[in-house]
Structure 1
Amino acid sequence: MIMLTHLKFGVLFLALGVLLSCDLVSSQWTKRLNHRDVSRRQITVTQPNLCDSGIQYSGYVEVSSNKHLFFWFFESRGNPAQDPLVLWLNGGPGCSSINSLYYEVGPCTVNEGGNGTTRNPNSWTNSASMIFLDQPTNSGYSYGPNVTTTTAAEDDVYAFLQTFFDKFPQYSKLKFHIAGESYGGHYVPVLASNIKTKNSNINLESILIANGLVNPLIQFKSLPDIACNNPPYQPVLDNATCAQMTADFPKCASATQTCYNTKSPQDCINAFSICFSTMIDPLTNAGFDELDIRKKCSNSDCFPGFPDIEKYSNSSAVKTALGVDPLFDFELCNRGINDTFVYSGDCYIPPLLENNVRVLVYAGDADYLCSWLGNDAWTKELDWSGKAGFNNASFTQWITNNGTYAGDVRTFGGLTFLKVFNAAHMVAHDQPEASLDFFSKWILNKPL
């Protein structure tokens, strides 16, 4: 059974990773190595009859010698010949995209007890075909030599895409979107940059970042407000504690800036330790969950569905149907990857915007670690030609198709920030109907 702290610390430890910011990237694309010869890569595919009744494929792509990435593809429930294709990447680093498949946006959910699945009526596959990919290697069902940088990981994902489209050319001409959650906020822009840099024939339209922890120097400053001044929720900490956090933030900021400047692992470890103790510990010591301030819980009490997902995913019958070795030991999150990864920053996003790749950043209003205030703040700091216009734009109401006032949205040019009401770190789980509403509008380039 999964230790729930693996997933929680998978999110928490990425704070150390994002302290190692990337080198400055200008609006001009930097040159990358060409992708490996597709003909030399191996792909093994099965057609499972799990989770949903439509066309689906699963299996492995050997992106390089002994590096095997697991994928599970679901064709759109709508019009698969024309609906967009979306690649979903979970964060961690080291967490399986299987979790979001079953817990958030996929076509089924795992039943209590882990004995089967139930159809998800609000799956994003209602509007798009979707690939759920376990990456980097040794995340989820994937395996092979460890990868320790975001750039290397997304080079592998780019290689995967080339092989996938070579095997399934009927999907290669569809409009393509990349979505990711948490540390996926780093994976996604790097992969998108890869696609643009290599002049790929992939029809990249947009990226979606869900509750990303992208720049703690900016984001952590908002944590006292989330804890003590985040209507409609009641304060979860007393005013004195929040005042102390505010007073302590300059220590966190100074250490983080040192890490940014030196990129020294020791400096970044020090920054993580200071920021964690001053900005995160006060909440968790009070018994609240850092991914959902509405929950006063710990370990498996916070997310009781996760052990069921792991149990189901470790079923021999399920693994055989997916083309996975029945003896494979599946974990939702591989902590070892998280501990060794070297990370990049958010500097890939401005060039994407300048090159007409739309960017949607959304966050639930009850998330603490990756709060909506912090995500709103870092989007305002992006250095692109539309910065002033975006920062001067007002929030407007996001009204779903059924007439629900479900959140607030700010948009200008190709950049959109969406605050989702009554949702925490895993927005689509908390607000499934509303999430399908904004997703369907976004991929069709309709206003929210």
Structure 2
Amino acid sequence: MPLLRYLVSLAAFTICSHAQFPPPPKWDKVIASRFAEDVTISYKQGEICETTPGVRSFSGYIHIPPKSLADLGVKNQTWPINTFFWFFEARNVDPRHAPLIIWLNGGPGSSSSDNPLGYNGPCQINPDANSTYLNHWSWTNEANVMYVDQPVQVGLSYDSPQNVSFDLIKGNVTLLNETTGIPEQNTTLAVGTWSSTDTYKTSYGSVQAAYALWHFAQAWFQEFPEHQTTSLSLSCVSYGGKYCPAIFAFFEEQNERIRNRTWHVEGEQFVLPLDTLIIENGCIDLPGSWFSYPIMAQNNTYGIETVNQTTIDLMLDNLNKDGGCLQQAYACGNLSLELDPLNVGLYESINNVCFEAGKYCDDNVQGLYSISNRSVYDITIPDDLSRVPPFSQAYLQRPHVQEALGMAVNWTSYSPAVNDAVRRVGDFARPGWLQKFAYLLDRGIKVAFVYGDKDYLCNWIGGEALSLAVNHTHAKSFNASGYTPIITNSTYTGGQVRQHGNLSFSRVYQAGHGVSSEQPETVQKMVMRLLNNVDVATGLRPVTAANGSVYKSQGPARVNDVTNKVDENWKQVLQVCYLLDVNTTCTDQQKEMIGNGTVEIQNYMIVDKNSTMRFPEVVGWGV
């Protein structure tokens, strides 16, 4: 299945069938910005997820009015940008002196606000989908972390609220108004409040998203001086491989304009203290990485031939032939560099060329893997396997959670409007991402590529090639560095890393697309080593020594011959049909039974042998 469509299947954006329209938020404070006209901030102190005594969290919105991006050349922003944040103070160190990490999900269009609840955040959700327990390997152990839903219309961020009804099985969305009224709900028909769902009222691609987030950051840091830490890092996953170099590079460009006094907008004068950009299994540069799909499909380190040679040959032909994937991508790139070098989607003709390039490559190269019936997120498991039901789908619709976070809209995990907007301008096939990494490195900002080695979608083979292609000042030294083991603890080696100074590339063993959640101890330790300016491999050597020498990892130039044993524990997983994710977790027969009301549902799970054996403590508690 094509990349963008696979990442954002309709199964992903569900709302609880028993959810109602969220009540008006009750804020601790609503303040008008002292620095930016008509910008307001609404927030409240948290009481869920992070329950460690004395450790605070905050959630809320920064409200940016229409036309606020005009100073950056975006003349068509006719909609408000209400950006949701969920901020957690560090647990084990003084938050006043702890580094700050902003975490962004990819998609494009995927929410970040469920990630505190089961990815790298402070807590995990219990099977009752109503309570949580602390995550031992949370990044917040040693850092302040802020999860942000962006671009606008993603997750809990919104432009204008819109009441909707939504069919959980068919995926049909109906906009509600005074004429339509509110339909009667049942097991499969939900109602709620979303964003407008207008694909023309959000960011058109990664660069415009960077503009909006910079305004957000200016308001946040100036209005909350107590959180003005000495370092700001950005960590992103998946499509964040495009979002985040665009965001961090733009942040640094604006820093330079502020420093040299060429940026004169009053209230936008805060220099952001950029430290580290972390990319987890990022899909970054199309021409530079798509050679990796045939390799990952057939010659991976797990010894799995996911497709036959005929399919591999077709992938290679579609990639390299005249009029094929690479040729179309280069045509997109050349037009973009000549006529729209900022990649802001100025010309429909270029947008169309780039859109078609991305679609062709999705359908005819990457997407041919779909016949394997294996997961694009983990080549070792079947496509239809769901390891753990998505408890966040229900938890984030609980009334006490909505009230605690100050939700202005119902939470959705994915925004089709944002995905369409990003695809429409051909963002996926556009060039320039590697140059942004090089710019950041040459400005002294650290860059870390972290890839789980079971992921097909944004795989480590392509990621490694891109890390070697970043043309920065110390590229030769990085490329000449060898791989060395990542020491997780005294008994486990978590992967292999190549590092020279501020640039590192890591292959993490036994992890797929969600590397932080699948190898939490390894990745948490890697991230803290990055922030503490020590080597990723051990955390024992300074990146820059007292005598000025720069750390360089030693070892083999390649680690493709380091093979893995397939973990077959997935075969013991009892598949559970979850009402709020029917198109991923349920069979066609189960969906039919849900639709005609011939099945018992408890705590959003179909009651059968699997759910009774796997979650006996909750399937009898009732929805």
What TM-score bracket applies, with the shorter chain setting the length? 0.7 to 0.9
Match of 2:91 in 1: 77
4+ runs of 1 displaced by more than 6 Å? none
Compare 241-250 and 368-377 and name the one that shifted more: 241-250
The match for 1:333 is 414
- Given the superposition, is the C-alpha separation of residues 395 and 245 from structure 1 closer, same or farther in structure 2, using an over 3 Å criterion? same
Give the alignment partner of residue 232 of structure 1, picking from 302, 306, 317: 302
2:35·2:219 contact (CA, 8 Å) conserved in 1?
Answer: no
Q: Deviations over 1:356-393 (max 9, x none)?
A: 00100111000101000001111111121122222222
What's 1:260 paired with?
A: 333
What is the SS of the residue equivalent to 2:64?
strand
Over 3 Å counting, the alpha-carbon distance change for 1:147 and 1:303 in structure 2 is farther
Distance in 2 separating the partners of 1:310 and 1:366 = 25
Q: 3-state DSSP class of the match of 2:110?
A: coil
Structure 1 position 317, deviation (Å): 1.7
Give 1:167 deviation, angstroms: 2.7
Aligned-residue Cα RMSD (Å) equals 2.2
Query: What are structure 1's unaligned runs of at least 5 residues?
Result: 13-34
TM-aligned CA deviation for residue 433 of structure 1: 1.0
Among 345, 362, 370, the alignment partner of 1:284 is: 370
User: Relative to structure 1, is the Cα distance of residues 163 and 259 closer, same or farther in structure 2, using a 3 angstrom cutoff?
Assistant: same
State the TM-score, normalized to the length of structure 2.
Answer: 0.64
Q: Which protein has greater RCO, CA pairs closer than 8 Å, 6+ apart?
A: 1
CA contact 2:96–2:229 (8 Å) conserved in 1: no
**Partner of residue 404 from structure 2, selected from 307, 321, 332:** 321
Q: Which moved more, 1:398-407 or 1:132-141?
A: 398-407
1:416 counterpart SS class: strand
Is the contact between residue 36 and residue 159 of structure 1 (CA under 8 Å) also seen in structure 2?
A: no
Pick from 184, 199, 202: which aligns with 2:272?
202
Equivalent position amino acid for 2:49 in 1: C
SS where residue 389 of structure 1 aligns?
helix
Secondary structure of the 2:48 match is coil
SS in 2 for 1:211: strand
Cα distance in 1 between the residues matched to 2:104 and 2:219: 17
Aligned counterpart, 1:188: 244
2:57 matches 1:56: yes
Quick check: 1:110–1:118 contact (8 Å CA) kept in 2?
yes
Q: CA deviation at 1:150?
A: 2.1
The Cα shift of 1:180 comes to: 0.8
Percent identical: 28
For the pair 1:380 / 2:468, whether they are aligned, the reply is yes
3-state DSSP class of the match of 2:454? coil
The DSSP-based 3-state class of the residue aligned with 2:499 is strand
Contact 2:100 2:229 in 1 (8 A): no
Structure 2: unaligned runs, 5 residues or longer: 11-32, 67-79, 160-200, 256-269, 337-349, 537-623
Per-residue deviation, 1:173: 3.0
Residue 118, structure 1, aligned to residue 133, structure 2 = yes
SS of match in other structure, 1:363: strand
Tell me the matched-pair count.
Answer: 417
Q: Quote the offset at 1:113 in angstroms.
A: 4.7
Tell me how far apart the structure 2 counterparts of residues 129 and 136 of structure 1 sit (CA, whole Å). 22
Judge conservation of contact 1:85–1:129 (CA < 8 Å) in 2: yes
> Does 2:274 match 1:274?
no
8 A contact 2:373–2:383 mirrored in 1: yes
Cross-structure match for 1:246: 316
Would the aligned equivalents of 1:6 and 1:334 in 2 still touch at CA under 8 Å? no
TM-score if structure 1 supplies the norm length? 0.88
Per mean C-alpha deviation after superposition, the further-off stretch among 157-166 and 352-361 is 157-166
Q: Secondary structure at the match of 1:289?
A: coil
CA distance in 1, matches of 2:34, 2:250: 13
CA contact (8 A) 1:407 1:421 kept: yes
**Is contact 2:499-2:505 (8 Å) kept?**
yes
Report the counterpart of residue 311 of structure 1 in structure 2.
394
Structure 2 Cα separation of the partners of residues 176 and 273 of structure 1: 35
Verify: 1:47 aligned to 2:120, yes or no: no
CA 1:364 to 1:146, structure 2 compared with 1: closer, same or farther past 3 Å? same
Whose radius of gyration is greater, 1 or 2? Answer: 2
Contact 1:11-1:182 within 8 A present in 2 as well: no
Bigger helix share: 1
Q: Distance between the aligned counterparts of 1:303 and 1:357, measured in 2? A: 37
Matches within 5 A, 1:342-421: 342=425, 343=427, 345-346=432-433, 347-421=435-509
The letter for the 2-side match of 1:42 is: T
For the 8 Å contact 2:106–2:236, the answer to whether it is kept is yes
Moved more, 150-159 or 47-56: 150-159
Opposite residue 218 of structure 1, the aligned amino acid is: G
Provide Cα deviations, 1:139-185, integer angstroms capped at 9, x if missing partner: 00001142223222222211212222223212203321111111112
**Preserved contact between residue 11 and residue 183 of structure 1 (Cα < 8 Å):** no
Do the aligned partners of residues 103 and 46 (structure 1) sit closer, same or farther apart at CA in structure 2, a change above 3 Å counting?
same
Contact 2:279 2:450 in 1 (8 A): yes
Q: How many angstroms does 1:119 deviate by? A: 1.4
- CA deviation digits over 1:62-100, x for unaligned, max 9? 133421100000000111122211000111121111233
Give the stretch that moved more between structures: 422-431 or 244-253. 244-253
1:102-159 CA-to-partner distances (Å, cap 9, x unmatched) read 2311111222352222211111001101000001110000011422232222222112
Pair 1:305–1:439, CA change in 2 (3 A): farther
8 Å Cα contact 1:105/1:428 also seen in 2: yes
Asked if 1:89 corresponds to 2:90, the answer is: no
**Following the alignment from structure 2 to structure 1, what is the Cα–Cα distance between the partners of residues 277 and 497?**
16
Partner of 1:67: 81
